[in-house]
Amino acid sequence: MSTQRVFVARLSGCSVFDPAGDRLGKVRDVVVIYRKDDPPRVIGLVIEIPGRRHVFVSIGRVTSIATGQVITTGLINVRRFQQRGGEVRVMAEILGRKVYLQSGGTAVIEDVAIERNRLGEWDVGQLFLRKPRTSASPFAKGPTTFAAWSEVRERQNPGEAQSAEQLVATYSDLKAADLANTLLDLPDDRLLEVAEELPDDRLADALEEMPEEEQMHILEALGDERAADILDAMEPDDAADLLGQLPERRSEELLELMEPEEAEDVRALLKYGPDTAGGLMTSEPIVLSADATVAEALALIRRHELHPALAAAVFVTLPPYETPTGRLLGTVHFQRMLRYPPHERLGAIIDDTLDPLPASASAPEVARLLASYNLVSVPVVDQAHRLVGAVSVDDVLDYLLPDDWRSHGEPQESLPVSTSTASTPRRR
């Protein structure tokens, strides 16, 4: 897969469309966050919608960026865009900025290329720079050149205290569990300051790895709108676990502020008891039709953001293919897919020998099934045999371990560390 590159200045004013081709607005800026040793990461776009309102669209909701148009999933939060600490607007703040070249001399940034890598993430790539003019003529312009982000630097004052923004950049490479532990080691004031600076997805991942009390403390300190954005970025089961700890009125207030689609998933999970398969599951497993091919299934489970336990199998159902789906037909495990040619249809290689779990099954039942058949995930169905989610082994481990297991020593030396889709069960 080749790298896709788009220059930000050329995006300004480009139309933004939903999948049906309806125009939603136009691009006004690109928002990035700085990282310690890597180029800035693109986190979203500032879009102007009718009424001259500027709103933020997460890069995860953008399916295509080209110089002429931007295609989104169609889901746009119409709350007015408010720039947060750690966020930098490319056109408003980076273009026109003076930088120092590694090779010597200075230049001004005239344009910034953002590039989509093989993992589907957008990062700052090349910079289009203009050097100081060498002619005395008032009509002459300086020569231009391209440079990578790593080949330039911005002015830094010696001895200046590290800001929360700089501290966030130093945490960019930490795994979610390590980031959570690092944050919890900070004094409370500093913890909340850094939490304000962290991008939504990073803070969401870290919260998923924290004890319940710390999750609620941070969430309450963020303010309602930011808290809702964090809940949107969390896995639905983790968001449900967290909201389940709050008073019902407070939980409902936050659900009303969340994206409707995300809130709907969380509400569905909150209906189940915390010690049942429904309370432990995620509502976003990989679902495909019987006519889908092995190649299509492998392409889906190759996504980097997908938890390994959920990537171990796809579930084949009748339409619709979002939970709650049509009737569950069976499961196709990753290893089984590797034994068949890419064009083989999933309906021909379904494993229908293992019965799914009802949403009402108890947590011990789920654990016994996973252990008995050496599974890493198991489908969960409702009374109509529709797929409503899947429970993975890390969800069960989190449930079975003591409530304070996260605070017992270094994760790599004691208990297994669960990854970003791990759940902290609602209080039993």
d(CA 113, CA 119) in angstroms, rounded, equals 17
d(CA 161, CA 193) in angstroms, rounded, equals 15
Query: Same domain for 333 and 261?
Result: no
Residue 65 lies in a domain: yes
Q: Which residue has the higher pLDDT, 20 or 401?
A: 20
Single-letter amino acid code for the residue at 157? N
Query: Same domain for 30 and 62?
Result: yes
Q: What is the pLDDT at residue 211?
A: 86
CA atoms within 13 A on the CB side of 173: 5
Task: Provide the CA 414 distance to its chain's centre, in angstroms.
Answer: 28
The answer to whether the peptide bond before residue 324 is cis (omega within 30 degrees of 0) is yes
Query: Same domain for 292 and 393?
Result: yes
d(CA 122, CA 133) in angstroms, rounded, equals 32
Residue 428 lies in a domain: no
Residue 420 lies in a domain: no
Q: What is the pLDDT at residue 189?
A: 82
Query: Same domain for 263 and 301?
Result: no
Q: What is the pLDDT at residue 104?
A: 86
Residue 80 lies in a domain: yes
Q: What is the pLDDT of residues 150-162, one digit of tens each?
A: 899 876 544 444 5
Tally the residues of the chain: 428
Q: What is the dihedral of CA 164, 165, 167, 168, to 10 degrees?
A: 120
The whole-number average pLDDT for the span 188-217 is 88
Question: In the structure encoding, which two tokens stand for residue 282, read together?
Answer: 């995620």
Percent of the residues in the chain that have a pLDDT greater than 90, as a whole number: 39
Q: Check which CATH number belongs to the domain holding 59 and give it.
A: 2.30.30.240
Query: Same domain for 115 and 171?
Result: no
Among 52-56, 182-186, 205-209, the least confident range: 182-186
Query: Same domain for 258 and 208?
Result: yes
The whole-number average pLDDT for the span 100-114 is 90
Q: What is the pLDDT at residue 381?
A: 95
The answer to whether the peptide bond before residue 319 is cis (omega within 30 degrees of 0) is no
On average, the pLDDT of the chain sits at 84
Among 153-162, 269-278, 279-288, 371-380, the least confident range: 153-162
Q: Check which CATH number belongs to the domain holding 379 and give it.
A: 3.10.580.10
Query: Same domain for 140 and 238?
Result: no
Q: What is the pLDDT at residue 410?
A: 41
Residue 73 lies in a domain: yes
| Cα-Cα-Cα-Cα dihedral sign, residues 284, 22, 229, 112 | positive
pLDDT band at 320 (very low <50, low <70, confident <90, very high): very high
Query: Same domain for 149 and 224?
Result: no
Residue 415 lies in a domain: no
How many C-beta neighbours within 10 Å does residue 386 have?
16
Q: Locate tokens 């001399």: which residue?
A: 105
d(CA 239, CA 98) in angstroms, rounded, equals 42
End-of-domain residue from the set 101, 129, 153? 153
| C-beta separation of 101 from 42 below 8 A | no
Query: Same domain for 299 and 381?
Result: yes
Residue 197 lies in a domain: yes
Single-letter amino acid code for the residue at 97? R
The whole-number average pLDDT for the span 166-187 is 76
Q: What is the pLDDT at residue 404?
A: 59
Question: In the structure encoding, which two tokens stand for residue 269, read together?
Answer: 């999970």
Residue 406 lies in a domain: no
Q: Does the pLDDT of residue 414 top 50, yes or no?
A: no
Number of domain units in the chain:
4
Query: Same domain for 170 and 260?
Result: yes
The whole-number average pLDDT for the span 287-305 is 89
Q: Which residue has the higher pLDDT, 64 or 403?
A: 64
Query: Same domain for 169 and 254?
Result: yes
End-of-domain residue from the set 52, 71, 89? 89
Query: Same domain for 44 and 19?
Result: yes
| C-beta separation of 319 from 387 below 8 A | no
Q: Name the E strands within 80-182.
A: 87-89, 98-101, 106-116, 122-130, 144-148, 152-153
d(CA 102, CA 150) in angstroms, rounded, equals 8
Question: Residue 115 belongs to what domain range?
Answer: 93-153
Phi, psi values for residue 110, rounded to 5°: -100, -25
At 24 the three-state DSSP class reads: strand
